[in-house]
Amino acid sequence: MTHTTHLASPLAVALAALALAAGCDEPSGAPGKAAEKPSQTTSASAQPAALKPGDAAPDVTFKLHDGREVKLSSLQGKQVLVYFYPKDDTPGCTIQAKGLRDGWADLQGAGLEVYGVSTQDAQSHQAFVEKYELPFPLVVDEGGAVSTAFRVPLRNELSARQSFLIGKDGKIKQVWLEVDPKEHAAAILAAAKS
């Protein structure tokens, strides 16, 4: 029995490390929960192919954390960053949001609108915005309709970390299917200026 305990502990640590390496910064759960991820990821492979540059951006309506609604097509004529992240106030998501906040003047100078999207409710988003003084709105994607429209995989009901830069013409200009939270703002700014 002691032998089993020694095996379970390193296994839990290894699974948590793998989850973090995969960019998933949701709270780690029991080893059984982490083991469910491969089957959910596998089922995600049955989803339509990822959006790519040149595709029309989905015409969705964003429900914002402050109760407002914005139809994406109403932003045509502006560059828009729609970035998906797993969960409010977790390490990687906080680094990513703070990077955009800290680069806000440059992003605004490039004429960029920014919308962060995750599946938490308006109250969670409001707390995240207030805690880190985020200057951009967060989209409430309970149920994952916006994630689905953008073909962003959901893992354990959390959006994968992906970003989409939409050009002034309403078409996808650039896609990041893998995002480094620390470098995100600089990559977005470079793409918006090109």
Helix axes 91-102, 122-132, angle to 10 degrees: 60
| ∠ Cα 163 167 169 (to 5°) | 140
By the 10 Å C-beta count (0-12 exposed, 13-18 middle, 19+ buried), 184 is classed as buried
Q: Where are the beta strands (DSSP E) in 31-169?
A: 61-63, 69-71, 79-84, 112-118, 138-140, 154-155, 158-159, 162-166
b/e string for 74-92 if b means 16 or more Cβ within 10 A?
ebbeebbbbbbbbbbebeb
Give catalytic residues, as residue numbers: 93
- Encoded amino acid at 45, one letter: S
Q: Which two tokens stand for residue 151?
A: 């073909």
